[in-house]
């Protein structure tokens, strides 16, 4: 039993690292524009199917699809931003309707192109097992974990060290004050949406290499991103990462100790508990006091 629990925790950590990429993309767009992109999970799904298309038609490693995924998902993110930016009245509500509609369009386009079959990588390299002491994982899971850490480190540096990264933080904190400091909020929001698209692209490819994907799970990715954002509280990359790990471990333990049918329910239960008892999030109290 102890070995099963340890294995579940280990698997949850690996999956949670990719959940963090999904959640960070949603959080960046929300932080700058106060817009909830309900199509974000479908953008992740589009990147996953891009990896499937490249692997199936070229025989290359799925990670070779990242450049194409960046073009497709990043371009679609840019178009989506331009559509949202044209909304002048009731922006919050109308943007929800718009992004929800775009998500449905993406899902149905994937259904038309690839049918509803479950897809996963066929790469022997990524499917091979690797052991770390008594724990086991697929190479794809370990690679996805490493890629997630590298990308989160790069995002941390970009937000802290680059001009546009600091502009994104400024607009997220106070849009009017940022404008007074010479920052163009619209251009900064555009950059934030592109950054969210980049995170969605890599997250989708990573998810394809470590699990199965199908057209109906795009919305589930958006829900998981919401849960992680609530767990993290006041936004920060370490907070989102820890919140995503907690969600991944909770789901993995539920599957191991109970039933896979309760996996999504466990995540929602965790979401509601934190929402009711810790409204600022598990890691938000200190930042909120500051």
| DSSP alpha helix (H) spans, the chain | 2-33, 40-58, 66-85, 91-114, 124-127, 139-161, 163-173, 175-180, 185-210, 218-232, 237-257, 263-277, 285-289
Q: Thinking of the domain 2-289, which architecture would CATH place it in?
A: Orthogonal Bundle (1.10)
Per-residue pLDDT, 283 = 67
* Contact criterion met (CB below 8 Å) for 194 and 78: yes
Spatial separation of the C-alpha atoms in residues 232 and 254, rounded to whole Å: 21
Task: Write the pLDDT tens digit of every residue in 25-84.
Answer: 888 888 777 788 899 999 999 999 999 999 999 989 999 999 999 999 999 999 999 999
The residues near 264 (Cβ < 8 Å, ≥ 6 apart) are: 220
Q: Which of 164, 204, 209 is nearest to 28 (CA)?
A: 164
* Contact criterion met (CB below 8 Å) for 46 and 204: yes
Task: Write the pLDDT tens digit of every residue in 108-143.
Answer: 999 999 988 899 998 888 888 888 878 888 999 999
Residue in this structure with the two tokens 């598990």, named with its chain if needed: 282
Q: Which of 155, 117, 147, 263 is nearest to 209 (CA)?
A: 147
pTM over 0.95? The answer is: no
* Contact criterion met (CB below 8 Å) for 32 and 186: no
Mean pLDDT of 10-34: 88
pLDDT at 207 over 90: yes
Spatial separation of the C-alpha atoms in residues 225 and 223, rounded to whole Å: 5
Mean pLDDT of 180-199: 89
Instruction: Kindly indicate the confidence band of residue 234, based on its pLDDT and cuts at 50, 70 and 90.
Output: low
> Domain extents for the chain?
2-289
Mean pLDDT of 219-225: 89
Spatial separation of the C-alpha atoms in residues 144 and 122, rounded to whole Å: 16
């Amino acid at each position: 039993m102890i070995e099963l629990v340890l294995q579940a925790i280990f698997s949850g950590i690996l999956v949670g690292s990719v959940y963090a990429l999904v959640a960070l993309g949603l959080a960046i767009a929300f932080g700058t524009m106060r817009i909830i992109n309900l199509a974000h999970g479908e953008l992740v799904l589009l990147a996953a199917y891009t990896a499937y298309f490249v692997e199936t038609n070229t025989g290359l490693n799925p990670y070779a699809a990242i450049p194409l995924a960046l073009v497709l998902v990043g371009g679609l993110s840019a178009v989506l931003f331009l559509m949202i930016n044209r909304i002048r009245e009731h922006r919050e509500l109308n943007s929800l309707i718009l992004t929800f509609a775009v998500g449905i369009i993406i899902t149905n386009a994937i259904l038309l192109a690839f049918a509803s079959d479950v897809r996963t990588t066929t790469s022997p390299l990524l499917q091979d097992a690797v052991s770390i002491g008594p724990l086991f994982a697929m190479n794809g899971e370990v690679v996805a974990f490493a890629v997630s850490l590298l990308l989160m480190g790069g995002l941390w540096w970009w937000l802290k060290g680059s001009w546009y990264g600091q502009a994104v933080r400024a607009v997220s904190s106070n849009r009017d004050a940022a404008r007074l400091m010479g920052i163009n909020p619209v251009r900064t929001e555009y950059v934030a949406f592109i950054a969210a698209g980049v995170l969605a692209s890599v997250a989708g490819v990573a998810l394809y290499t470590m699990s199965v994907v199908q057209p109906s799970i795009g919305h589930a990715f958006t829900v998981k991103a919401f849960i992680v954002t609530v767990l993290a509280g006041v936004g920060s990359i370490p907070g989102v990462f820890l919140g995503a790990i907690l969600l991944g471990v909770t789901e993995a333990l539920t599957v191991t100790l109970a039933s896979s049918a309760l996996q999504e329910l466990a995540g929602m239960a965790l979401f509601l508990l934190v929402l009711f008892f810790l409204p600022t999030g598990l890691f938000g109290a200190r930042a909120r006091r500051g």
